[in-house]
Structure 1
Amino acid sequence: MTDSAPDRTRELGVDFGSLARDLEAHQYPATSDELIEQYGDAVLTLPNGQQRLRDLLELVPDEEFDSAADARAAIFNTVGDAAIGRKGYSDRTPPALGEREEWPHESF
Structure 2
Amino acid sequence: MPDDKPGRDEKASEQERRQPEREVEETRDRAQENRAMSGDLGGRLGDLDEALETHDYPTTTDELVAAYGDYEIETQGGMESLEEVLASTGNQTYDSADDVRGRILGLIHR
Q: For the superposition of Structure 1 and Structure 2, which TM-score range results when normalised by the shorter chain?
A: 0.5 to 0.7
Percent sequence identity is 32
SS at match of 1:15: coil
Name the structure where helix makes up a greater proportion of residues: 2
Unpaired segments ≥5 residues, structure 1: 82-108
**5 Å matches for 1:86-101?**
none
1:45 maps to 74
Instruction: Kindly report the root-mean-square deviation, in angstroms, between the aligned alpha carbons of the 2 structures.
Output: 1.9
**5 Å matches for 1:3-82?**
5=39, 9-11=40-42, 15-46=44-75, 48-80=77-109
SS at match of 1:50: strand
- Structure number with greater CO (CA < 8 Å, separation at least 6) is 2
Corresponding pairs, count: 74
TM-score under structure 1 length normalisation: 0.60
Unpaired segments ≥5 residues, structure 2: 1-36
